[in-house]
Amino acid sequence: MSITDYSDSNLPKMKCVIIDGDVMTIKPKQQAYAQTKLEPKVIDNVRLAKNNAKPRLSILGMGYVGLVTAACFSELGYQVIGADPDKTKIDTLSRGEVPIVEPGLSELLQQAKSENRLSATTDVIDAVLKSDVSLISVGTPSDDSGSCNIRYLQQAAKQIGQALKMKNNYHLIIFRSTVPPKTCREYLIPLIEMHSGKTRGLGFGVCFNPEFLRESSAIEDFFNPPKTVIGCLDKRSGDYAAKLYQAIPGEPIMCSLEAAEFVKYVDNAWHAVKVSFANEIGRLCKSVGVNSHQVMEIFKQDTKLNISANYLMPGFAYGGSCLPKDTSGILSLAARNGVDLPLIRSLAETNDRHIGHALELIERRGPRSVGIVGYSFKAGTDDLRESPSIRLAAALEKLGYQVYYYDPNLCTELKQQRLHQAGAKLPGQYCKNSNVLIRQSDLIVVAHQDAYAESIANKAMARKPLLDLMGLCESSRKNQNYQGLCW
Ligand code: NAD
């Protein structure tokens, strides 16, 4: 690969690194995309990968994702064949024109073409045949019912299979189109096996590597992605795919095919929640004459609770003295000002459904008595206001179940006396200790995220069915007495 000098003094100086035994140039523009930690990582990998020739890539689907991927991998020194049945697109590319608008793409494509690292064809099978790795980024539009239509992927899988039938050596297939979980394993891999006559893991490897680029900053996102996720069929596939990304900052996150497929959906749902939440706050702020941008600027500065990993692990319903009260307060403020907030309005409903889901899992198990560990709204407090455990207990009692509970902050004579004096009428019967609770209950529910609850759960599980609402005992998934609420 030739070394090009850039004379623009505003740009950082060119770096020379070695990848897969080749000397390659990280051009100033690309340096700007990549983080500074790029260099040591690349050099580490060089030693591992030395003398290995770069695999040839075929990229199926020359839309937004495929074109950017093709241009950027060419920029990294790979030999790339872009394939798409759309003749107009391929003719446009072959003339050196770019069929879409994306900043920087035209320059990268022209450079790749002039250095003979990129070609384009309508012959998908031939492209696969002439490559070692195929990256698939065909469209997956919604069908009439709103579900993901995978017909282009199925067609691509069939074509890959037909090509592999004519190929002797191992081929890696990396699916990148956004799909629901299990699409690769249940639909695409069987098609490849059927048309190639080869077996997964032997004749070919499979990865799912979701694309996180955003149109309009796609090239920058490729060279500096929020994360690189590689779901793999097996270790060989995963290691091979990870090597392609060794010049990209950040360690790839290796996982199952299904987790990689799903995370893209989850990301996009989350982004939609964020946009909609901010817009609802904006509408409400405007209606009451508060500067919404100022409010959200302050909101974003809280990186401990707001913009953080907090509250993002599946667990039990929310409760306590603040969340139910204040979300309801926001809604009534909105109603008084004639503003509809469907997202915030849905929170109480989704929270209720979550308690309903716990109830359903208990009912399915058919116990007569249920013991709940953790009664206050969360561990480490005796605050019972809007406690989801108590709401669950009340619903169980209403259905005729005998309910017992144990909570170290509530289950003492003194505390019970005080509750009695305060006129607090709790559902269920309190147990002085956890042994009594385990003995008397047919099924145990753990509702506190705390060491005491974990030790009771482990003790209980040896004898009784356990419903874990907090993800305390995930390592016991295989125990037939164990059941997680939503994992
Ligand atoms: P697109 O519609 O722009 O391009 C898809 C291309 O695939 C088309 O040119 C089509 O002709 C081609 N194609 C169809 N069947 C083919 C086959 N058998 N072989 C080769 N090519 C074939 O789609 P896109 O926006 O690039 O998105 C591709 C996938 O990536 C989708 O699943 C999308 O959800 C996902 N994705 C898109 C973005 C984005 O910003 N556009 C970002 C991340 C992920």
The set of residues, in sequence order, having a beta carbon less than 8 Å from that of 398 and lying 6+ positions away, is none
Position 323 in a domain: no
Tokens encoding 115 = 């250095």
> In this structure, are residues 444 and 465 in contact, taking their beta carbons and an 8 Å threshold?
yes
Tokens encoding 18 = 């070695």
Q: Count of domains in the chain?
A: 2
Percent of the chain with pLDDT over 90: 86
Position 76 in a domain: yes
400, 49, 15, 374: which is closest to 223 by C-alpha?
A: 15
CATH number at residue 126: 3.40.50.720
Position 300 in a domain: no
Note down the domain range covering 225: 15-255
> Is residue 233 domain-shared with residue 366, that is, in the same domain?
no
> Is residue 363 domain-shared with residue 249, that is, in the same domain?
no
Position 466 in a domain: yes
> Is residue 228 domain-shared with residue 87, that is, in the same domain?
yes
pLDDT digits (tens, 9 = 90+) for 449-481: 999 999 999 999 999 999 999 999 878 889 999
- 207 tagged catalytic: no
**What was the pLDDT predicted at 480?**
94
> Is residue 367 domain-shared with residue 251, that is, in the same domain?
no
Position 83 in a domain: yes
> Is residue 241 domain-shared with residue 358, that is, in the same domain?
no
> In this structure, are residues 32 and 17 in contact, taking their beta carbons and an 8 Å threshold?
no
Position 80 in a domain: yes
Handedness of CA 401, 402, 406, 410 (dihedral sign): positive
Of 208, 235, 255, at which residue does a domain stop?
Answer: 255
pLDDT digits (tens, 9 = 90+) for 389-421: 999 999 999 999 999 999 999 999 999 999 999
Pocket test for ligand 1, best of 211, 212, 227, 266 (most atoms within 8 A of CB): 211
> Is residue 222 domain-shared with residue 94, that is, in the same domain?
yes
> Is residue 223 domain-shared with residue 360, that is, in the same domain?
no
Of 255, 288, 305, at which residue does a domain stop?
Answer: 255
20, exposed or middle or buried, with CB in 10 Å at 0-12, 13-18, 19+? buried
Position 267 in a domain: no
Atom of ligand 1 nearest to the CA of 89: 9
Residues in contact with ligand 1 by the CB-under-6-Å rule are: 60-66, 83-86, 89, 124, 137-140, 152, 155-156, 159, 177-178, 211, 213, 215
Distance between first and last Cα of the chain = 49
**What was the pLDDT predicted at 52?**
57
- Going by alpha carbons, the residue nearest to atom 22 of ligand 1 is 61
Buried b (16+ CB within 10 A) or exposed e, 164-184: beebeebbbbbbbbbbbbebb
Q: What is the CA(87)–ligand 1 centre distance, in A?
A: 15
Of 202, 233, 255, at which residue does a domain stop?
Answer: 255
197, exposed or middle or buried, with CB in 10 Å at 0-12, 13-18, 19+? exposed
**What was the pLDDT predicted at 9?**
32
Pocket test for ligand 1, best of 121, 137, 222 (most atoms within 8 A of CB): 137
> Is residue 77 domain-shared with residue 207, that is, in the same domain?
yes
> Is residue 29 domain-shared with residue 134, that is, in the same domain?
yes
> In this structure, are residues 68 and 102 in contact, taking their beta carbons and an 8 Å threshold?
yes
Buried b (16+ CB within 10 A) or exposed e, 402-433: bbbbbbbbbbeeeeeeebeeeeeebbbebbee
Pocket test for ligand 1, best of 100, 138, 158 (most atoms within 8 A of CB): 138
Position 24 in a domain: yes
CA-based Rg of the chain, rounded to a whole angstrom? 28
Residues of the chain with confidence (pLDDT) below 70? 1-52
- Could you say which of 322, 411, 431, 473 is catalytic? 322
The pair phi, psi for residue 403, each rounded to 5°, is -115, 135
